[in-house]
Amino acid sequence: MTTDTRLDHALRYADFGWPVFPCYSARSTGACSCRLGSSCKHPAKHPHTRHGLRDATIESRQIKRWWNKWPDANVGIRTGTDSDLLVIDVDVAHGGPDSLRSVLRRLGTLPEHPVAKTGGGGCHLLFQHPGGRVSSRQAVAEGIDIRADGGYIIAPSSIHATGSPYEWRVDPEKTPPPTIPELWLEWLSSCGHRDTEAQDIDGGCWGRVVWDGVALDQVVKRSIDATLPAAFGQRHGCLFRFARWLKSHPAIIDAPATALKPYLRQWHKAALPRIRTKPFEDSWFDFAESWEKVKHPIGAGPMGDILKRAVAADPPIVARQYEQNQLRLLVSLCRELQREAGKRPFYLSVRTAAEQIGISPSHAATWLNGLVIDNILKRVRRGDRRKREASEYRYMGD
């Protein structure tokens, strides 16, 4: 950024299409400039305006009025669909950098993206919002939060209560926020199993979001977030995964597909930017067929537990030769299946591999054959795909 004042920075962010709003600043003593002063629990981080982030705007006249009134106000940027921003918030005080390195080893590198150093010594990593609803969440890993719908960040040019500035390390003018990789997005969505809150620090709670054993509408939101296509051509596979996610709620596991049409319409609307002009009827017919075929809801059954272990573990050394993160995950899954089977071979069908990794059956068949060629797997017995028989394998890697 080339300008100096908070107002200049706020106007520049608005030019990016990022709605901004003023936040309280810190006094020289480190106390918040709000009426609570040194008693404030969130000094220099909460909104100056009555409605908080809901007042955020890109309208220059309003922004000038705010910062002419409060020239030292910190700059808040609303995240989510309004700004097209999803932000990974890494907190150094709670082990965020270590957690981030661990996730990078499991899921692969991220594309070049804007990075802001926070006043507390952590960082904000900025990405394009993927569409649909992605709720802001706390503690998706130790020291890592997600700022998306219902959230905001304090932006560079602001000053932390410690007196340290927020600064750009990778400037968004030179490096615009990229699309976050699909495997990362799926990981972030899967972290919704824990209780999370989207907290309006200025005195309002936007609502507690609890993913397990709660209201059906929240399960629907989670299911949509976790299964939206990342690109054209993924609609059919994502619809099957959407059916598996919906079946995780006991209230609808035995419901007829026709009763779920309203939920499918929500999914289809959110997916339209990626599936382009696909008619709703096409999605409906595919979903209805998928609903009847789903035997195991997402996360249910032994395979769900094994997949969770594969995602949580560091990838095998032999997997690091591959560039595609989903292929690395397939290697990790095979390792966990072998551990489960002990000294015996393990069974894995092309269809099951495709469902668990989120790829097409043809890709799964090609990749399994490739792992045999690379001596990571040994095929003990080939199953009959026409009869949907699983093949038997031994994992030969580390």
* Residue 208 CA neighbour count, 13 Å, CB half: 6
pLDDT digits (tens, 9 = 90+) for 346-392: 998 887 887 777 677 778 889 999 999 999 999 999 987 666 678 99
Instruction: Give the residue among 351, 251, 334 at the shortest CA–CA distance from 295.
Output: 351
Which tens digit of pLDDT belongs to each residue from 34-67? Answer: 888 887 878 999 888 877 888 899 999 999 999 9
Mean pLDDT of 205-223: 48
Beta carbons within 10 angstroms of residue 194's beta carbon: 12
pLDDT above 90: percentage of residues in the chain: 40
User: Has residue 203 got a pLDDT over 50?
Assistant: no
Confidence band for 277, pLDDT divided at 50, 70 and 90? low
Identify the band that residue 141 occupies on the pLDDT scale cut at 50, 70 and 90.
confident
Query: 169: phi > 0 → left, psi -120 to 50 → alpha, else beta; which?
Result: alpha
What does the pLDDT average to over 8-36? 92
- Among 3-7, 68-72, 99-103, top mean pLDDT goes to 68-72
| Confidence at residue 198, expressed as pLDDT on a 0 to 100 scale | 37
pLDDT at 8: 95
Q: How confident is the model at residue 210 (pLDDT cuts 50, 70, 90)?
A: very low
Average pLDDT for residues 160-173, to the nearest whole number? Answer: 94
H or E segment at 205? Answer: strand 204-209
Q: Quote the strand ranges of 1-64, DSSP E.
A: 20-23
Handedness of CA 6, 7, 9, 13 (dihedral sign): positive
Residue predicted with more confidence, 354 or 282: 282
Distance of alpha carbon 186 from alpha carbon 92, whole angstroms:
24
Residue with tokens 């500035």: 165
pLDDT higher at 228 or 265: 265
Least confident piece of the model among 143-152, 173-182, 352-361: 352-361
For residues 330-335, give the mean pLDDT: 93
Q: Is the pLDDT of residue 312 over 70?
A: yes
Closest Cα to residue 320, out of 110, 111, 104?
A: 104
The pLDDT of residue 176: 93
CATH architecture under which domain 301-395 falls:
Orthogonal Bundle (1.10)
Q: What is the pLDDT of residues 384-397, one digit of tens each?
A: 766 667 899 999 98
Domain parsing of the chain, residue ranges: 6-208, 216-293, 301-395
Residue-averaged pLDDT of the chain: 83
For the segment 76-132, what is each residue's pLDDT rounded down to a tens digit?
Answer: 999 998 899 999 999 988 888 998 998 898 888 899 999 999 998 899 999 999 887
Q: How far apart are CA 146 and CA 127, in angstroms?
A: 11
**Local confidence band at 206 (pLDDT 50, 70, 90 cut-offs):** very low
Asked if residue 185 has pLDDT above 70, the reply is yes
The answer to whether residues 40 and 31 touch, using CB atoms and an 8 Å cutoff, is: yes
